[in-house]
Structure 1
Amino acid sequence: ETFVSRMNLESHPDQPEWLSHVNASVLKVKLAMAIIGISSIHLLKTFINAGNYDIKVLMWQTIIHVVFLMSALAIALTDRLLSATHAAAKAGH
């Protein structure tokens, strides 16, 4: 449950276009992609200076990056499955 009141902007002229297709799932995927982007840049910086780092540091940073990737894929897949389920439920009713 959220404590934010709903904005009633259905036919309001100032309603932003993006507001109709942005929801919590879309924001989660976008946030995950931003985290992956930051992690990619950090990992690239580490690999450029790989001679200054221990092999364990390189390994753990790579593992953490792969975990970020897999988490984002899981979130996106879950969102896709749920949106397909909701679409099928709407079509059936």
Structure 2
Amino acid sequence: MNKIIEKMIYESRWLLFPVYIGLSFGFILLTLKFFHEIIQFLPKIFDMPESDLILIVLSMIDIALVGGLLVMVMFSGYENFILKMSDDCNQKRLNWMGKMDVNSIKNKVASSIVAISSVHLLRIFMEADRTRDNKIMWCVIIHLAFVLSAFGMAYIDKMSKTKS
């Protein structure tokens, strides 16, 4: 009976497969949004103020950071929880593939969230004259919470590695 339960639990990891497929669709949507941003503002590029252009570029950086986060979570999650990826068609493997454990994924995700939050906060600061002080304050507080969480997770990870 134990063998059957263990096999069921082990095979249930495949339930994550549709989740990773869904993330890849999310990545496609994010890519479409990225190009939508470019197409939408390309005709206006010479007429817009520099600050608006910077905000658009920051928005594109935001999308790129989220996209990188998605790719990292998809690949490393698939490799860690479902199945190792093969090197078929002589394609080069990404350096970090197969080397990231769950803790390093968490730290990378936390770092990415801090970076995304930083870009978002910079966008808010650039629009400070049009933004309520209350909103700016809460965005800074939330950003600091992300930063402290990332430091906390990195510290816990470091402490767990030194004990083992």
Which category of TM-score, normalised to the shorter sequence, fits these structures? 0.7 to 0.9
Picking from 56, 61, 73, the partner of 2:151 is 73
Identity %: 29
The amino acid that maps onto 1:36 is V
Larger helix share, 1 or 2 = 2
3-state DSSP class of the match of 1:76?
A: helix
How many residues are paired up?
79
Q: Distance in 1 between matches of 2:128 and 2:150?
A: 26
In structure 2, the gaps of 5 or more residues are 1-8, 14-80, 85-92
Report whether the alignment pairs 1:29 with 2:107.
Answer: yes
Q: Distance in 2 between matches of 1:84 and 1:38?
A: 30
Q: Distance in 2 between matches of 1:75 and 1:37?
A: 16
Q: Deviations over 1:29-76 (max 9, x none)?
A: 000111111100010000011010111000000000000000000000
Q: Distance in 2 between matches of 1:82 and 1:6?
A: 26
Q: By how many angstroms is 1:19 displaced?
A: 4.8
* Alignment correspondent of 2:71: none
In structure 1, the gaps of 5 or more residues are 8-15, 87-93
TM-score by length of 1: 0.74
Picking from 114, 121, 139, the partner of 1:61 is 139
TM-score by length of 2: 0.43
Q: Which has the higher contact order (CA 8 A, sep 6+)?
A: 1
Q: Distance in 2 between matches of 1:84 and 1:19?
A: 24
Q: 1:25 to 1:49 in 2, by over 3 A?
A: same
* Alignment correspondent of 1:42: 120
Q: RMSD across aligned C-alpha pairs, in angstroms? A: 2.2
Question: After the TM superposition, which segments of 4 or more aligned residues of structure 1 sit over 3 Å from their partners?
Answer: 4-7, 16-21
Q: 1:45 to 1:19 in 2, by over 3 A?
A: closer
Q: Distance in 2 between matches of 1:52 and 1:5?
A: 47
